[in-house]
Chain A
Amino acid sequence: MRILIVDDERWWIDLYRKTLEKEGHTVHFALSAQDALECIDQQTPDVILLDFVMPGGNAMVLLHELQTYADTKNIPVIISTSLSHAKNIAADFEKYGVHIVLDKATVTPKKLKEAIGAVQV
């Protein structure tokens, strides 16, 4: 699968990428919502792994944009966040294609793989 990681912290990108590439996925990354939109323009990912709070616009900016276009509105999104009320985000943003929320404080490579597997079509 083609997975786009969107996170302003490179070290998180490296950690996720390591796990995902081991599973045979093709991984791209973007450091901001704006960069992510440019990446998506060039090549549509199969899944987006999205940090929730980033400089230049949080995940909401990206989620709203994705819903605007027919070829991006159905891309499954996994939110990755340190926010303590992560579960609330999942409930509020299901309609934006957010299927799963991973808490950065408790995520493991196994949970990440399970999340990707869960949204795989």
Chain B
Amino acid sequence: MSEEGERQRYEQTVLCEVPSLVVAAHELKAPLALIRQLSLVLRDEPAEVSLRDKDVRVLLERLTATSERSLRLVEMLTRHARLEDGLFELEPLHIGQVCEDIAHEIMPLCRVSGQKVEVRLPKRTTLALANRELLKSILFGLCDNALTNNQPEKPIVISSFSHAERIRVGVRDFGPQLSKSSFSTLKERLGKEAQPLGKRPGSSGLGLYIAGQFAEAMHGSLGVVRHQDAGATFFVETPMSAQLSLL
């Protein structure tokens, strides 16, 4: 069998088309496996070779960050399952405040990974018509992704701007530049159903798929921009609130 044929057979039989539930299970298993390992280190370190306080602190921070990541994924999955119930009402939201909240909430993850986050906002107040829970969920996920891809020398940047009755909030990382083919594939699949694990190296895309669904529930959309120098900006766009005209 040719190499290509073998690869296809592998993708069919081993990394086969799997329903989203299995993808979600894998996405949860990975951080839980890490939590278990971190706990084992704390439990099993022999008394005569005790961990320094600093090492214990690092392990505990990683345990906390990883378990919080798992909990957030569970929350996202729960919200996603309830989208059709129409429970997520839209309201005018001060985008600057939302961005500052997210920057504050992501700080523990930044600390654990030795990185920083910066918020860059326009001087003019902007109100988006969105759902606070869904929007924050999307932005937190984008920030988490950015921290994973980013080079630590530069901060990840949360920024917003408005254009043609829409508000765009983006999260920029300065990680490795996406190749044109990877970017093209990513852009095509963004927000679409999570892919079989083999077709999307590194992740199933479950987080971005759910983020895309959240964005759509707010009459918005998800997008990505590839930068020439480094990294990418993932963004969410929502309608601008008409209430701005009353200010």
Contacts and interface: CB of A to CB of B under 8 A. Distances in A.
8 smallest beta-carbon distances between A and B, as pairs: A55-B202, A104-B33, A105-B33, A82-B30, A58-B201, A82-B29, A88-B14, A15-B37
B26 A11 contact: no
Contacts of A56: 176, 201-202
Interface of A: 8-9, 11-12, 15, 18, 53-58, 60, 64, 82-85, 88-89, 92, 104-105, 107-109
A18 B41 contact: yes
A56 B22 CA distance: 23
A78 to B, nearest CB: 16
Interface residues of B, number: 28
Interface of B: 3, 7, 10, 13-14, 22, 25-26, 29-30, 32-34, 36-38, 40-41, 44, 62, 66, 149, 176, 197-198, 201-203
Contacts of B36: 105
Nearest to A8: B202
Contacts of B203: 53, 55
A9 B40 contact: no
10 contacts: A12-B34, A57-B201, A58-B202, A60-B7, A82-B26, A84-B29, A88-B13, A88-B14, A105-B33, A108-B40
B137 to A, nearest CB: 23
B96 to A, nearest CB: 32
Contacts of B202: 8, 53-56, 58
Contacts of A89: 14
Contacts of B30: 82, 104
B178 to A, nearest CB: 10
A92 B198 contact: no
A43 to B, nearest CB: 23
A54 B44 CA distance: 29
Nearest to A57: B201
Contacts of A57: 201
Of the candidates B66, B198, B201, B202, the one having the most CB atoms from chain A within 10 angstroms of its own CB is B201
A41 B91 CA distance: 56
